[in-house]
Structure 1
Amino acid sequence: MNKKYRLRNNMEFKKVYNGRKNYWNRNLILYIRRNGLDNSRVGYSITKKIGNSVVRNKVRRRMKEIYRLNFHNIKEGYDLIFIPKKNVVDISYKELESAMLHLLKLSGLLKN
């Protein structure tokens, strides 16, 4: 994914966290904030509580792929941060996709 679609440094993440608009379900937490740009940017924050680096990277790759496939259905002009919870390690790809889309729908960011 192109760099203009990603949150890349700590200050960008802190701005979204301080915006304090968040949604959650059993598997994920989503923080959102308007960014005033023509595109939406996304970041992923995966703590060491999830598992070792292999597990964390697997979860991050899955989340990035789900976002990439659904990128065209997400409204522009927002910064998003996805944070997985501990039980996300044990769920399937389809369940993770369902959880991410559920949060996007709850937040009103899905176009459909």
Structure 2
Amino acid sequence: MDPQFDEFLHVPARLSVVAVLAPADWVDFGFLRDAIGTSDSALSKQVSALSGAGYVEVHKGQDKRARRTYVRLTPEGRQAFQRHAAALERIVALSRMPAPDGEPPAGPG
């Protein structure tokens, strides 16, 4: 496995969160929930895990009518996502390389 592959980030729900956050600054929790297509509780669980790992920062504020929660990648989270995405790209690139000429692959047993 590629040494830059991040097992923690590779969880599909977490990877979806950081992928939505990557091109943005602060993102509204509701927008993030809708973009990923998940529930408030499932998103909250993943955001808490990402926050605990230092990958995201959470800010709670108040607008005229309601409390709002905003999320953004930390510099560490942004770097982790970039490293993980690069690792995935390398893995995919290797899968597209033609097989070397020669002996067929060894079978089971």
TM-score, normalised relative to structure 2: 0.27
TM-score, normalised relative to structure 1: 0.27
Of Structure 1 and Structure 2, which has the larger fraction of its residues in strand?
A: 1
